[in-house]
Structure 1
Amino acid sequence: MATSCCSPVTCVATCSDAFYFEVVAPETDLAADSFEQSQCLGRWVRSEFNKFLLLNDEKKFQVQNLTSEQLSQPECNFQILIYSDMEHVEEKGRKVAMLYVKNEGTNMVACCRKRTEVYPEVYPEEMDTLPKRIEETKHKALFFMTKLTACATFSFESTENPSWFLGFQPDGENPSLNKLVLLKKKDTQEVDNAMRVILIK
C-alpha cells in the first residue's frame, strides 16, 4: 500500500517537555497496489526470426513459420490485455500486460510457474474469466511490457519472476520449430534478440 500524499498527524498526549503524535492515514488518501483492465489489442506475436506464436492442437505454445493463408486466420491472433496500475508503472516507459488466445471459446493465458527451484517456465492456462482487477503486484499471468524500438518490438518481463523475459528458443524435438520460454536477462542493458517480441496487426 502506498500513500498518495503526506499523512496527517494528530496530537494525542503531552508529557513534561515531549509531545506524542499519532499518524492518521485516511483510506481515501491511499492508492492500492493493484492493476485494472484498460485496453485489449489483437496482434500476431512474432519472433525476431520471423516465426509466429500459436497454440497447437495439443494446447501447447508453438512458434513456427506461417503461410499467407494461415496469417489470414484472425482466430490465431493473440490478445494483449493491458492493465493500468495504481503505482504508475507507465511513467517508467512500460505497461502491464496479459497475453492470451481463444481456443474453442476458452481463454488460454500465458502464465509462469517454477519448473525447478530456480528456473521458471511459461505455459498456457485455461481461464474462463479474465480478472478485471488484480490486487497483487506480482501475478503469474502479468508481464511488464516495454517498447524497445520505434517499430512494434517489445520485451515482456514476468512480474512474478523479475529479470525473466518471454523469449523464443529452438525446439529440440523439431529444429524447424521454436518454443515460447522464459529467458534470464544477462547483466547488460541490451535485450537479447531471443527476447524481442514483435506485435503485428
Structure 2
Amino acid sequence: MSLNCCIGLKLCCVSFVECKFCIQVYNNDESTGKGLEVMLYVNKEGKKMVVSCKDMDNIYAEEKELPGTIGEDDHGAVFTMKSTATSNEYLLESYKYKSRYLAFETHRDTGNIKLILRHKHEDVVDEPCQLRFSPR
C-alpha cells in the first residue's frame, strides 16, 4: 500500500486512497532500534479521531485529544513505527498487542478497504503490513 508522509517531523499527514491520516510522533529516537512511538488520527468535523485497537484483530476510531505524553490509558492507540529493509517502507506494530501490525485488507465481496491488526512474525515479510511512505 502506498502512503504519503513527511517523515522526520513531530506531526505529519499520511494519505491513503481518499483518507488522510496524521501521525503524532512521541519518541523520535530510532537509535534504540525499537522504532518510533506514534499515534495515527484523522480530523473529522473539527474532532480528532484516533486509530485505536479494539482487540487483537480489530481497529476502531476513537474521539480523543492527543496527549502530550503517552499514559497507561493510551496504549491501545500507540503504534511502534519500524523501518524495513526496503527504502520508505514501514511497519506499524501495536504497542498493546505485540506481533500485531496495522494492515489494509480488501473485503472480498464489496472491495472496500479496511484497516485491521494482523499477526506477523518478526522475520517474515508480510506485504499487507508493509506501508510505503513517500514525500507529499
Displacement after TM superposition at 1:105 (Å):
0.6
**5+ residue gaps in structure 1?**
1-37, 46-51, 55-76
Task: Write the deviation string for residues 91-122 of structure 1: whole angstroms up to 9, x where unpaired.
Answer: 115111100110111111110022xxxx4311
- Please tell me the root mean square deviation across aligned C-alpha atoms, in Å: 2.4
TM-score by length of 1: 0.56
Contact preservation (8 Å) 1:138, 1:159: no
Trace 1:36-51 onto structure 2 (pairs within 5 A): 39-45=10-16
Structure 1 residue 199: deviation in Å?
A: 2.5
Rg larger for: 1
**For the residues of structure 1 that align with 2:132 and 2:90, how far apart are their CA atoms?**
6
Whole-Å separation in 2 of the counterparts to 1:132 and 1:92? 23
**Number of the residue aligned with 1:179:** 114
- Does residue 155 (structure 1) correspond to residue 126 (structure 2)? The answer is no
Give the AA of the match of 1:44. S
Counterpart CA distance in 2 for 1:100 and 1:107 is 6
Higher RCO (C-alpha under 8 Å, 6+ residues apart): 2
Gaps of 5+ in 2: 1-8
Indicate if the aligned counterparts of 2:34 and 2:80 stay in contact, CA closer than 8 A: no
Closer, same or farther: CA 138–189 of 1 in aligned 2, 3 Å: farther
The structure with the greater share of residues assigned to strand is 1
How many residues align structurally?
127
- The percentage of counterpart residues that share the same residue type is 27
For 1:78, give the aligned amino acid: F
